[in-house]
Each structure stands twice: as structure tokens, then as C-alpha cells.
Amino acid sequence: MKKLKNLSVQKKLFLGMFGISVFIVLVITGTAAVNTYNAMREQLIYNRRMSIGWLKERLELGLSDYQEQFYEFEINQQYKSIIQDWCIEEEELNYASRWSLITAMNGIISMDSSLNGIEIYNFKKNEVLISRRSGASLEEIGDRLSSWQQRGADMQNNLVFLRTENEILILHQMHRFSDKQPYALIVMHVRPYELQDILSDIKMTEDETVLVFNDEGLWIEADYGELSDVDIPMMQDVLETMKKLNKTELVWNGNFWFYREAGGGKQQILLSVPDHVIIDSLKGTLMIAALVGIAAVTLSVAGAVLISRIFSYPIISLSGKMRRFMLNDTEEIFEGQEENFDSIKETQNEIIMLQDSFNIMVERNKRLIAQKYQKELEKREAQVHALQAQINPHFMYNIMQVIGGMALDKKAPEIYNVTTALGDLMRYCLNFSQEMVPLREELHYLKSYCMLQNERFRGRIKLEILVEEELQGILIPKLILQPILENSFHHGLVNQSGNWILKVEGEFSARETGEIGVLILTVTDNGGGIAKERLMEIQKNLNKETKSALNAGAHIGLGNVNARIKLMYPEGNYGVFIDSVEGMGTTVTIKMEAGIEI
């Protein structure tokens, strides 16, 4: 710690800037990596949603086709009658009937290249009629239906999928209409290649695994990608868990899992995407980020060296001059300051050396400046007292807010409204940082001003603002409308009975040469109007030079507003224009140059 304290200013600046730069680079790189990971994660989820949704639609289309093929034997009365006579009445399947059924089955097989064969099972006679591409035969059932017999009796049997070693079995059971008892079973033997191609098509990476299960949760077909060790029971557990939780998407065990049902659950789809798929896709981005980070750190080191030299040079130069000055004047300066003198000679820290030198100089000059310092102190105290006597506008605004809050607590909303409006007026009037403000702020100020005046005049003031919203973004000189309204109160409305109606309107006309145009604001009152001679005198004064109007006081009166506009826009017929009819009211028009929007 002591060694660090004695380091030079340049080295401290370098170490500080280097540490800050590295910290910023690490934060930015880390944030970018996290944001990129999250974005790619969301994109991965979205893409897989689309893929598994397409797979669901494709499987449901296949289910519909198989359903239609099975219903051919239910709808066609000839086929149905033959099957019922054979299976229910236990009649022998003669040559004509057998040929008719085989012809129908061969027709279906020939239309679908994925079909290996179709079988019709007669439960009562223990017979099965088989039609395959290689031929047809009538044989005993034997143990052909062992998988079917293990299926629960309460499960649907309209369209059932089972898997053998090389084929997918699609089964449909036929029932008697009278008592719903099964009498025949139709089985299609399907090659799995078409389904395998479909599953392969929806995968975006080889690491993904997609499985199709039947309604019992038994495996039908899958595409494992590059995986050699697949835990089917674990995936079945995931399937059951997602069904119990009523979830279609799940993140578990380092994988994203997507689940969908096709055909009302006759087929169930499970898609697994390893989390490292995102990491692998981020490798290129992370590599670039690392290279950019290294480059940024390198530039930071160079910049830290350069900036530390630039900023420390004045201090180093000053400390060198101060050291030489002190060492050449030791007899007078260092009397009683031996410790500080040793520090000046030994330390490499320019700041400590300057601090010790300063302490010595202060001690040396203390007696010389005591009297002057005392006078300066007294003078400063007097200035502080003078400043404390002034009212701080910001303090007053805060007090207005406090009063407003107290008014609300005491359930006096009128006082709250008055203090809030007065606070808005103070903040608007005492903000000298802006000469130009949006028209909407000036109109808001007018509303607050009229609200306060209404408290004075018992709600007689009715302010109507008819300015379109698109015009309220135009910049105008600050405080040009309030003096107009104030003149109306003091000269036109003060002796008027009934409600005092003030109407503010705006109009903008753009020039053909560009977006700059003319803004016209009019303020109309229903006061007593102005006599003709007085009106002519006012109009004459408005046409005078601007200097005489400005001498009357800032932001007060028609003349001041007119002078400010003419000074701001010397080119063109801009300014304040007044028109009035005695007994009918007064209209003041303000015309200025303005843009369409800020």
C-alpha cells in the first residue's frame, strides 16, 4: 500500500485508466454475449415452434388420408356387407367375395407407395385375409395380434398406431351399429421411410432428436441425428411429465423440449434440442468478441499511456519546479519542517510533494496574510448573509409543492390547484435557459395563468384554445401570449359583466420554397373594445421603432411583444396587430416566422 502511495501521478493515472478500460471492455463484451445468447435462444425456440407445428399439420394430413382409406370399407355397402357376413354371420368367404375385398385392398396399396399390405381380421373365425404386393391369402390369425391384445380396452380403436421391427401398423376396428361390439379389424402395414424423411426434414441441426409416439406413449418412429445412445424410457418420462404439467415447452436436463399432439393425441410428437446448439452457434460470435476485446484492451493500454502522459505532464512539470524552488530556499522555508522537507527529497509522488510544499508555503506566509485573510473572511461572510437574504426561486417552488401537499391532506383541493398552478408559473417564468419554447408549453402556461385569475375573478374567465395539435410543436418566443391576456383583463374585461371569454386560435401557412412558413396566433376577447381614437394611437405606437418598446421593461405589454418579434424576424411583415370595435371586443394578432415542426 505504501509503494502504491509513493507511485508517480503518471503511473497511477495509467493503472487507473487501464483498470477502468478493461472493466468496461469486459462488461460490454459480457453484456453483448448475454444479449446475443438470449436473442439466439428466443430465435431457436421460435424456429422449433414453427418446425414442430409444421410436423403436426403434416401428420394430421396423413391421419386424415388413412382415415378415409379405412372408411372406404365402412361406407361402401358391398365391402361392408361382405365383411359383416364373413365376420358376424360366420359365413364362408367365397371366391367372389374374397376377390372383391382383395381388389379393393390392392387398389389402396397401389395408390400409396408406402403401403406394404392390408389385412382384415375375423375374430370369430380366427381368420385373416391378407393382401400384399407379393400376393393375397386367407390364413389363421395365430399370434399376429399380440400387440393389439395388450392394448387397454378403454382406449380408442378408431385409428391406432403400433410399431414392429420394420413396419408401422395402422389399425382400425369395425363395430356393429346395434350394440357397438367389434367384429373386424383392418390393419395397414406401412413402410417407415416416408415418416423418417419427414422427421429428418424438420430438423435444423444433426444434434436434434425428434420422436413420434402413439396415444399410449409407445415409440413409433424417431430421428436421433448423430446421437448413438438414446434413452427412450427417459424420453417417455419427459412426455408424460409435460402432459401432466399441461406444458408444450420445457427446459430440462440441458435440453429444450417441445411437445405437440396430432389428431387429438393419436400421435404425439416430442422434439429435443440440446442447449449446446446455441453455444455452438455462438462460437464464431464469441471468437469475434474476444478479438475485439483484445483489440480494445490494446487500444486502451495505448490510450491510457498517452492520456496519462498528457494529463500528468502539467503536474510533473509543476512539481519539478516546486522541488527545485524548495531545495534552493531551505534555510528560510524548512525551519521546523524537517519531516516535510525529507518527504520532498525522497517521494516520487508529485501530488504528495506538492502537498508538502504547499504546507511549507502556508506556514511561511501565514503571518503575512493573516490580516488580509481576516478581512476577506469578513467580506465573504457578509456576502453569504446577503445571499441568504435572497429568495431562492427553486426553494419557493418546492414550498409551493409542500403547501399543495398539505392542502390535499386537509382535503382542500382548491388550494392545491392554486399552489400547483402558481408553482408552474414560477418555474416557467424563472427559467431563463430557453428563449424559444414549443407552443404547447406557452398554452399550458396560459391555462395555469387563467386558472389563478379565475380564483381572483370568481370563475368568470372562460379560456378557449383552438390550436391544432400539429401546430403545438412549433417553437415560438417565450411569454408572448400572457401579456396579451393581461391587457385584456386590465383594459377590456375589467368592467364587463357576465363571463369573460378569451379565445386563442392558431393558423400556419407554409411557403412554397420549403418548410418555413408563417404562424398566425389570434387572441380575441368579448370585452368593451377600444375607442377609435385610442385604437389608432395604439396602432401608431406598435409601428414605432423597437428600441422605445424595449425600454419600457422586459416581457410587459403589447409593445414589448411586438418589439421582440420584429427584432427576432426583421425580414417580413411580422409583429403584433390589433383590431377592435367599441362595445364588441378586441382581437390581437401575432404574426411570426415559424417551421412546420421542431
Q: Which residues, including other chains, have CB under 8 Å from residue 348's CB and lie 6 or more apart?
A: 6, 7, 8
Average pLDDT over residues 284-307: 74
Residue type, 386: A
Residues 6+ apart with CB under 8 A from 242: 248, 250, 257, 259
> pLDDT, tens digit, for every residue of 509-560?
876 555 578 899 999 988 888 888 888 888 888 887 555 554 443 334 788 8
Lowest mean pLDDT among 66-70, 71-75, 326-330, 516-520: 326-330
Question: What are residue 571's phi and psi, to 5 degrees?
Answer: -90, 125
C-alpha cell at 48: 422449433
C-alpha cell at 499: 363571463
| pLDDT tens digit sequence for 338-364 | 555 555 555 656 666 666 666 666 666
Residue carrying the nine cell digits 527529497: 345
β strands within 442-485, DSSP E: 461-466, 475-477
Relative to beta strand 500-510, strand 461-466 is parallel
Q: What is the pTM of this model?
A: 0.49
Closest CA to 237 of 259, 220, 222: 259
pLDDT above 80: residue 392 = no
What residue ranges define each of the domains in the chain, with the CATH number in brackets? Answer: 40-276 (3.30.450.20), 461-594 (3.30.565.10)
Q: Are 319 and 350 in contact (CB under 8 A)?
A: yes
Q: Considering the chain, what percentage of its residues have pLDDT values greater than 70?
A: 70
Range scoring the smallest mean pLDDT among 21-30, 231-240, 354-363, 479-488: 354-363
At residue 391 the predicted structure's pLDDT band, cuts being 50, 70 and 90, is: very low
* In the block, residue with C-alpha cell 493515472: 13
